[in-house]
Chain A
C-alpha cells in the first residue's frame, strides 16, 4: 500500500487535518455518533456513516467516493447504502492511516448532489411472483391494497448499485411498509421481483437466493453486459413504480 500517514495531508484539506490529534484522536461526530471504519480482510476498508438512512448522508457518501477514488493504490471504490467499501491493490502498511484519512475526508467534504433521470417501472403486484405480499400486509397491519398504493406512490432515489448486476439500492420507502429481511433467504427468487428488505425497496436483477420480501414483478431489464454502461440505473436516478396489475 502506498497510502501512509504522510500522504494524508496531500489528499485532505488542511482545515480537516487541524482536528487530527493522531490517528486515534480523529473524531467525527454527527448526532453524537461516530462513523465506523473496519477492516474486511487485508485489502479492504469499510466506512459506515452514522445517523439515519437519509439522502443527505448518501450525498456525503457520493462525495467521499469521488475523493477516495483519487487516493494512491486504490483498486475499487464501492458505495453502499450510507457506507463505502474501499479496496486497495495491496494491503495498507498502516490501516490506521486509511481510517484517519477517511474520517478526516468525511468531516471536510461538501455533499455531492446528483441529478439523475426519472425512470418508470411497471409492476404486477402480488400473485405468485409477489408471494410475500400477505406477509408484508400482516407485519405492517395494512391491507395488501394499501401496501401496494403506498409503494407505488413513492418516488425513490438510487443510492448505489450493488449486490447483483444492475441492482439499485433505493431510498424513499415509506416507513409504514418497512419489513425486515427474511431470517432464511429464499433460494430461488426470479429476476424482476420487486422486493422490500428492511427500510429499502428494489427490483431483483438475477435469479437466485434472496433475503428480501417479494411483493411484485416487473419485466424491465435492469442490466445488459453488451450495453455501455451495462446498468439501467445510476446513482442519483429517481424511480417510480407504476401499478400494471394487481393479483390478490
Chain B
C-alpha cells in the first residue's frame, strides 16, 4: 500500500479507458499517454491496461507502507526514491517507509506511477479510470488527495529494470521543427466547409496550446478559422483526437475526458498513433497539424505496437532470468 503525501490537483487513477458506454454519454476517460501507461505495466509484468496513477501536477509524493515494487514512466519528472535519483522509465522496489517523489517535469506533461497488479480500485462500468465530471471510477471518483491510501493488486517486490522511452526508441515520424510538435491528422467530415484561406491557416499555423486546456481537450490559440457562414450542426458522437472548430474559430482537440458527442464543425482528427505525444504536450507549447493519407495513418500504429511488444519480450526475459525474490 502507498499513502499520498503530496498531490496538488487533478492527479487521478486511470487505465486505458472505459469503452462501450458512449451510447450512455459516458466518455472513455483513460490515460492521456496510453503508451507510457502500457510500458510501465509491462515492466511490472502487469496487464498493459492495469490501473495506474496519472500525475499531471507536481510535486507528487507517496510513502510506501510496505515493501513494494513500482514503476515510473511518462514525463521525465526527476523521480527519486528517498534521496536516490531514478532513471526515467524505471521499475524497482521500495522499502516500507521510503518516499517516492516526482518533481515538475523537465520534459513532457504527465508521469505515470504503476504498482504490481495495478492500483487496486474497484471497476465501475467496466473500467478503473476516474470519470472526473461524473464523479465515479478511480479512487472514489475524484482526484487523489494527501492522506489517500492506495493498495496494489499484488504485494510483491520486483527486480530493477528500465525501458527506453518511446520518444527515443521510435523514429520521429514527421519532420519536427524546433518548438513545434508535428501531429499527423486525417481530414474530418467538415473540412470542405472551411474556405480555402481557413484551410491554409489550419495547416500553416503553429498553434499554441492554451492554458484553458485539460484532459477534456486542448484549446488552441492562433488565427481564427472562420466558416463562410455559421453552421448549426446536430450533435454527433466523437472520438479523442478530433479537432473541432467552435464559432469563435479557435480549434479544440477533444481528448480523454471529452464529451462523447458535440456539435461543432469537425475539421480533422489527430491519428491514434500520435495521441500519446499530444498527451505529453505541455500547456503553452506549440503544435502543427500535418496531413497524412489513410493508409499511412493505419500503418502508424505498427511501430508503437512493435515497441510495446519488444518491451514485453525483454521484460519477460528479465523476469525469467531473475531469481525469485519471495
Contact = CB atoms under 8 A, between A and B. Distances in A.
Interface of A: 36, 38-44, 46, 48, 53, 75-85, 87, 91, 95, 160-167, 169, 180-181, 183-185, 187, 197-200, 205-209, 211, 223, 225, 229-231
A80 B234 contact: yes
Given A39-B294, A181-B232, A181-B247, 20 more contacts: A43-B239, A46-B189, A75-B19, A76-B22, A78-B23, A81-B234, A83-B236, A85-B239, A160-B23, A163-B260, A163-B262, A164-B259, A166-B25, A180-B230, A183-B247, A183-B248, A184-B246, A198-B234, A208-B216, A230-B24
A99 to B, nearest CB: 12
A206 B134 contact: yes
Contacts of B22: 76, 78, 85, 87, 162
A76 B20 contact: yes
B242 A78 contact: no
Interface stretch (B60-68, B75-83, B108-116, B266-274): B266-274
B24 A42 contact: no
Contacts of A180: 230, 232
B234 A41 contact: no
A82 B232 CA distance: 13
B186 interface: yes
Interface in B210-239: 212, 216, 230, 232, 234-239
Given A78-B22, A95-B294, A163-B260, A183 B246 contact: yes
Contacts, number: 164
Interface of B: 19-27, 124-125, 131, 133-134, 136-137, 186-190, 212, 216, 230, 232, 234-239, 241-242, 246-248, 259-264, 266, 269-272, 294, 297-298, 301
Contacts of B238: 40, 85
B189 A165 contact: no
Residue among B25, B294, B301 with the highest chain A CB neighbour number at 10 A? B25
A79 B262 CA distance: 12
B25 A82 contact: no
A200 B235 CA distance: 10
Contacts of A77: 23
B189 A36 contact: yes
Contacts of A95: 294
Residue among B24, B133, B189, B232 with the highest chain A CB neighbour number at 10 A? B24
B153 to A, nearest CB: 22
Contact of B186 (A42, A76, A83, A211): A42
A164 B238 CA distance: 12
A32 B53 CA distance: 53
B261 A42 contact: no
Contacts of A205: 25
B298 A164 contact: no
Contacts of B212: 187
A161 B24 contact: yes
Given A41-B272, A185-B246, A163 B189 contact: no
Top 10 closest A-B pairs, CB basis?
A: A38-B189, A85-B237, A78-B237, A162-B261, A81-B234, A206-B133, A183-B247, A41-B269, A80-B236, A225-B136
A87 B189 contact: no
Contacts of B239: 40-41, 43-44, 85, 87
B248 A184 contact: yes
B272 A43 contact: yes
Contact of A39 (B124, B188, B246, B248): B188
A207 B188 contact: no
Residue among B234, B239, B241 with the highest chain A CB neighbour number at 10 A? B234
B272 A162 contact: no
B234 A83 contact: yes
Contacts of A169: 235, 261
